[in-house]
Amino acid sequence: MNRKKIPSIETFIILLILSAFSVTGGTAEDSLFIYGIHSWGDGASGLMNGRGGWSVEVVNTDYFPWDFTLDQAGRLEGEGFTLILRINKYFGQTVPSSPSSFDAFAQAVSDKAYLFRRHTSRFIIGNEMNADFEGDIPVGNYVSVFRKCRDKIRERLPEAEVIAGAVAPWNASQSGNGPYPSNRPWLNYFYQMVEDLGEDCDGYAIHAYGGRGGDDDPRDDDEMGFGVFHKWLEIIEQNPYASRKPVYLTEMNHAADGERAPGIPKYDYKTGYIPKLFEEVNTYNESHGFRVRAACWFSHANGGFPGYNISTNSTMADDFRQATGDTDYLSRVLSARSWNLYE
């Protein structure tokens, strides 16, 4: 869908209010579109062509001096972004390794969620927990600690959406019980996690990356590239509980082949890549009930990953602005009345 015009401020406010009543699971504060970033920085709204977006940010329960702050959350909101907050124990140990620490961690996670309650109702627990670089957590342990965290958060914030952390694609550190070949342990890990959590989960974070060998088009990637996006969704779709929950693509980029130097992808960014990513997500959404609510480029302004940052790459920034300016990739089904107001 090509955008006809940018709505007036008055129309946009009306549209947001109406959308809260015309869709399942949305609120008036949610972005209407899938466009998102990871690691917001001041001025990111310049990518959005007057639209709202999503942003994934990170806090730790252990002390970290550069954690995302309440002040930043307010500024992020002021730029029109919907916040998704990921809560770790710490970088490199995303959740505790010992079950004896799960209760204390769950309380600390709940405290962080409560602290940010005025800025978001979405909380991701941990990140790439299957990988050795994030703690090498067995799937049964992750399911156990996730449940404890969810219970503690919802004691105080009963409407919170507590989201399962993304599994690292192509990482063989851990596996799980699932129907996939033994050389696809990341898929079996995710399969068992989804099965074991059952109804005790409010949404799923996923990660997918492309650009292998310098490829410039993620739309035809197989599962060893951006096509892993479809494998995660295949697992979600077959589960009677998960298939009713929202999905958040919280990291996507062109760096499937890793790095040539710390924080620098092996291959340079290719013009046109970001719009193609958004197109692929939208193509899936249009035939699957707009299951994927957000698609977030990693990253916008992350000090540890300078080669990934839109904020310092004019080609990436131009491509992102092209996507938000030329397309209407929705994050949910709108009523006809709401869409007519927008147009």
What was the pLDDT predicted at 223?
Answer: 98
How far CA 237 is from CA of 288, 307, 341, in Å, comes to 9, 34, 32
What was the pLDDT predicted at 332?
Answer: 81
Say if residue 279's pLDDT is above 90: yes
Q: pLDDT of 237-251, one tens digit each?
A: 999 999 999 999 999
Q: pLDDT of 19-67, one tens digit each?
A: 433 333 333 479 999 999 999 999 999 999 999 999 999 999 999 999 9
What was the pLDDT predicted at 334?
Answer: 62
Say if residue 3's pLDDT is above 90: no
Helices marked H in 269-313? 273-286
Tokens of 89: 């124990």
**Which domains are present in the chain?**
34-327 (3.20.20.80)
Q: What pTM was computed for the model?
A: 0.91
Tokens of 165: 């952390």
Q: Residue 5's pLDDT band (boundaries 50, 70, 90)?
A: very low
Q: pLDDT of 64-92, one tens digit each?
A: 999 999 999 999 999 999 999 999 999 99
Strands (E) located in the chain: 35-38, 53-60, 81-88, 122-125, 161-164, 203-209, 247-253, 259-261, 264-265, 292-298
Tokens of 28: 């008036």
Please give the helix or strand (H or E) that residue 59 lies within, else none: strand 53-60
Report which of 290, 287, 306, 289 is spatially closest to residue 298, judged by C-alpha positions. 306
What was the pLDDT predicted at 21?
Answer: 33
Pairing of strands 259-261, 264-265: antiparallel
What was the pLDDT predicted at 12?
Answer: 44
| Cis status of the peptide bond prior to 31, with omega within 30 of 0 | no
Cα–Cα distance for residue pair 84/86, rounded to 1 Å = 7
Tokens of 286: 């249009």
Q: Summarize the confidence of residues 188-208 as an average pLDDT.
A: 98
